[in-house]
Copies of this chain bind each other. A is one copy, B any other.
Amino acid sequence: MERVSAIIRHLTFEAQSAASSAQSGAAAGGPLASYRAKSSFQPETMRRYLDGRFYEFKKAMYATLLQDPLFRLPIAELELSRKDARHQAIRLMRRVIEYQFVTEADLEQDPMIALIVSNLLTSFDVSLAPKLFLSCGMFAQCLVNMGTERHLKYLPMIATLEIVGCFALTELAHGSNVRAMMTTATYDRTTREFVLHSPSYLATKWWVGLLGQTANYAVVFARLIIGDKDHGLHPFLVPIRTMSDHMPFPGVTVGDLGSKLGQNSLDNGFVAFNQYRIPRESLLNRLADVTPEGEYVSQFSNADRLFGATLAPLSGGRVSIVGLALTNLRSALAISVRYSAARKQFSPSDNVEELPVIEYQLQQYRLMPYVAACYALDRFYVWLSGHHFSQLQSARSGPVDPALVAEMHALSSAGKAVAGWITRDAIQTSRECCGGHGYSTCNRLGVLRDDNDPNLTYEGDNNVLIQQTSKFLMTSLRNVMTGKPVKSPLGSVAFLEQFSTLIGSKWAVESEGDLLKPAVLLHAMHYRTAYLLQEAGTKLQSIMESGKDVDTFSAWNQTQVHYLHAAAKAYLEAVIVAQFDAAIQSCPTVSLRGVLSKLLALFALWRLEGDIAVLREDDFITGQQAKLLKETVLALCLQVKDEAVSLVDAVAPPDQILFSPIGRSDGEVYKNLYNTVTTTPGCFERAPWWAEMHPPVEKGSKRAVFDSYLKAASSSH
């Protein structure tokens, strides 16, 4: 052993001295310095612009985490067992509350700060924010928004983690189809209680975050039954485990879902009820109530409407997922872009230095559009969340314009889906762009992939969710067609007012220069949406007219792939571009506008490129323009390449939070990786099972077993 460690010391020493000299060939400042020198702006200037009023706050919050040994390593990197990872998560949750980064007063003044905290914690460990958010955010909001005075008393205990609550809607057999949930809450007049019951194991509440081992309370959605009348789903505040010994109450079967693809420090669980009695006051009764005598009282005539209104305050979940995805996107790109600029492979000819792989067109084309997307999504997210909070604000002082609610719903649904998809693809591409080293856990791309993955599923499966946006768009189109005004308080569907002009228009693009003009880009993006909607309408109609058996449901489903789904995506991408454009125009730091404009053009053209076939269907663009579009995407990738390191510098978390040897800002990828690997405990350990490698295997000693099966198989032939 001593011998080995001597050698290691020798090599590690070499690693340290070599890294900063020969290999990189770069000037002082490390392997990334040359790219940083090429960029048109200072990353810190960009960061200040992007973070805006939260610039100092984020800085201080990062500094706080960095001085705390508990935050030295993200949970997923500790290689802990699931059990220990959860233990660590509890410690982290408690610590975050101890810091109290935001006070109630802060939140009151600027609710967006909650998202800032959540995203910042996510950049450290993806499952930490949801873990806190599920109880202190979602669960608490249920009490506030669905409950009444009597439910508010729990809030202080939630804030101090004495009560940990969860949100139990999904069942084993039902997720997307919310209306089909089977759990019942039958009112018992005599005892003035509800009897919660799972009529079958299929009704077991499933997937509930924090329920596996942590939560002691849940908001459970169950069908409210009085006598023989089923009033549909209602929310109930349900004690699950005792406060004294954390064991489930009688009548409650609660358990853990076990290992997931990611987010394993967050415990998802299931619960079934066996005639479990809870007091009448457990009903979260803001919108509907049951009198002690068992009379049902509701502002809504229709159970579906009531349910919709009940869930409405939770729409913030989708907005916040855009932020979580974006946070993951930033980390992934910080890693892959820096590595691509530092990793050299192949040289044009002998005796010429190798090129950083970011210099290859293919690598640029694989990564740069995501860098653009990262910036475009960020400005969209700031805009969307701003409107989300002001909508919540207005809701306090009176009813909100239903048109605004509908538009926000459409935007957050498609926004969540599109942000999730882009991030999914960017992470996978990043992993592949880092070659072999991308497959090492320590470099963090795997964790990002696994932890980001459920963003596509929870808070609504993306492919189901985006249909809400399609519905909104079809309604908007119908308004246009029937001469009614387009209702668009946020302006996202205002372009439909020019529907017929758009549909008949052609793209006015003659040179690459035209392709950089936001108005020209938006024209194409709006045309694409309008065209797809028109086609969707035509298709829907032709299916409906094709036979008597066809109902709206199946006509709708048969119009999904190329029309409704495509239109909703196109719509959202157009909104992203429009908002990015608006942000750039009002960007106070004029020197940043140049690079931001390139990112806008790259993002828009990249998304249009995938739909050239659609744009050509009705000759909106010519073949020549299509070629120009493709060439311009490549040209922009090449330009953005020189800005890319600074662009990711401006959005990356600090090195000790990003925690990726090949993604560190110093670009010393080999030194960092080498030192990380060689100092990992166990690195030089002799396999404890080494002796079991001997004696030599008796080759074929069990062959008789196989032979007998072979005989049987052949004779049965």
Q: Judging by beta carbons under 8 Å apart, are B710 and A56 in contact?
A: yes
CA distance A345 to B97 in the complex (A): 40
0/1 string, A39-78, CB within 8 A of B gives 1: 0000000000000000111011101100110000000000
Residues from chain B with a CB closer than 8 A to the CB of A690 are: 213, 246
Whether A201 sits at the interface, judged by CB under 8 Å, is yes
Segment 592-627 of A: residues with Cβ below 8 Å from B: 612-613, 616-619, 623, 626-627
Within the complex, what minimum Cβ distance (angstroms) separates A148 from chain B? Answer: 24
Residues from chain B with a CB closer than 8 A to the CB of A294 are: none
Closest to A552 in B: B348
Residues from chain B with a CB closer than 8 A to the CB of A687 are: 86-87, 213-214, 246, 267
Residues from chain B with a CB closer than 8 A to the CB of A689 are: 86-87, 90
Closest to A346 in B: B177
Residues from chain B with a CB closer than 8 A to the CB of A692 are: 87, 90-91
Residues from chain B with a CB closer than 8 A to the CB of A99 are: 700, 702-703, 705-706
Residues from chain B with a CB closer than 8 A to the CB of A565 are: 362
Within the complex, what minimum Cβ distance (angstroms) separates A428 from chain B? Answer: 7
Q: Judging by beta carbons under 8 Å apart, are A697 and B253 in contact?
A: no
Whether A354 sits at the interface, judged by CB under 8 Å, is yes
Within the complex, what minimum Cβ distance (angstroms) separates A48 from chain B? Answer: 9
CA distance A207 to B435 in the complex (A): 11
CA distance A3 to B254 in the complex (A): 12
CB-contact partner of A440 in B258, B428, B450, B705, under 8 A: B258
Within the complex, what minimum Cβ distance (angstroms) separates A115 from chain B? Answer: 18
CB-contact partner of A457 in B157, B198, B254, B435, under 8 A: B435
Whether A217 sits at the interface, judged by CB under 8 Å, is no
Residues from chain B with a CB closer than 8 A to the CB of A436 are: 170, 175, 206-207, 454, 457-458
> Most chain-B CB neighbours within 10 Å: which of A256, A363, A630?
A256
CA distance A668 to B263 in the complex (A): 27
Residues from chain B with a CB closer than 8 A to the CB of A685 are: 213, 256
Whether A318 sits at the interface, judged by CB under 8 Å, is no
Q: Judging by beta carbons under 8 Å apart, are B457 and A450 in contact?
A: no
Q: Judging by beta carbons under 8 Å apart, are A64 and B705 in contact?
A: yes
Q: Judging by beta carbons under 8 Å apart, are A67 and B705 in contact?
A: yes
Q: Judging by beta carbons under 8 Å apart, are B453 and A699 in contact?
A: no
Q: Judging by beta carbons under 8 Å apart, are A362 and B450 in contact?
A: no
Q: Judging by beta carbons under 8 Å apart, are B439 and A261 in contact?
A: yes
A557/B432 contact (C-beta < 8 A), A257-B677, A453-B439, A687-B246 known: no
Number of this chain's copies in the complex: 2
Within the complex, what minimum Cβ distance (angstroms) separates A280 from chain B? Answer: 25
Q: Judging by beta carbons under 8 Å apart, are A617 and B613 in contact?
A: no
CA distance A90 to B360 in the complex (A): 41
Whether A176 sits at the interface, judged by CB under 8 Å, is yes
Q: Judging by beta carbons under 8 Å apart, are A560 and B360 in contact?
A: yes
Q: Judging by beta carbons under 8 Å apart, are A257 and B617 in contact?
A: no
Whether A79 sits at the interface, judged by CB under 8 Å, is yes
Whether A316 sits at the interface, judged by CB under 8 Å, is no
Segment 208-256 of A: residues with Cβ below 8 Å from B: 213-214, 246-248, 250-251, 253-256
CB-contact partner of A79 in B82, B161, B274, B717, under 8 A: B82
CA distance A12 to B23 in the complex (A): 63
Residues from chain B with a CB closer than 8 A to the CB of A63 are: 709, 712-713
Residues from chain B with a CB closer than 8 A to the CB of A431 are: 261, 453
Residues from chain B with a CB closer than 8 A to the CB of A432 are: 456-457, 461-463
Within the complex, what minimum Cβ distance (angstroms) separates A342 from chain B? Answer: 10
Whether A180 sits at the interface, judged by CB under 8 Å, is yes
Within the complex, what minimum Cβ distance (angstroms) separates A386 from chain B? Answer: 23
0/1 string, A675-715, CB within 8 A of B gives 1: 00110101111111111111111111111011001101110
A450/B454 contact (C-beta < 8 A), A87-B692, A256-B685 known: no
Q: Judging by beta carbons under 8 Å apart, are B161 and A693 in contact?
A: yes
0/1 string, A81-116, CB within 8 A of B gives 1: 111001100110011011111010000000000000
Whether A424 sits at the interface, judged by CB under 8 Å, is yes
Q: Judging by beta carbons under 8 Å apart, are A11 and B682 in contact?
A: no
CB-contact partner of A97 in B201, B634, B697, under 8 A: B697
CB-contact partner of A710 in B57, B86, B250, under 8 A: B57
Residues from chain B with a CB closer than 8 A to the CB of A349 are: 551, 553
Within the complex, what minimum Cβ distance (angstroms) separates A588 from chain B? Answer: 15
Segment 415-429 of A: residues with Cβ below 8 Å from B: 424, 428
| Complex A-B, nearest 9 residue pairs according to Cβ-Cβ distance, in ascending order | A261-B446, A100-B700, A259-B441, A60-B709, A160-B696, A612-B613, A213-B687, A56-B713, A60-B710
A sample of 29 inter-chain contacts (CB < 8 A) reads A7-B253, A7-B272, A11-B272, A18-B200, A59-B709, A60-B706, A63-B709, A86-B687, A91-B692, A97-B699, A98-B699, A100-B700, A100-B706, A160-B696, A162-B693, A174-B345, A207-B436, A213-B690, A246-B690, A246-B693, A255-B677, A259-B440, A260-B446, A262-B439, A362-B560, A439-B454, A446-B450, A616-B616, A617-B626
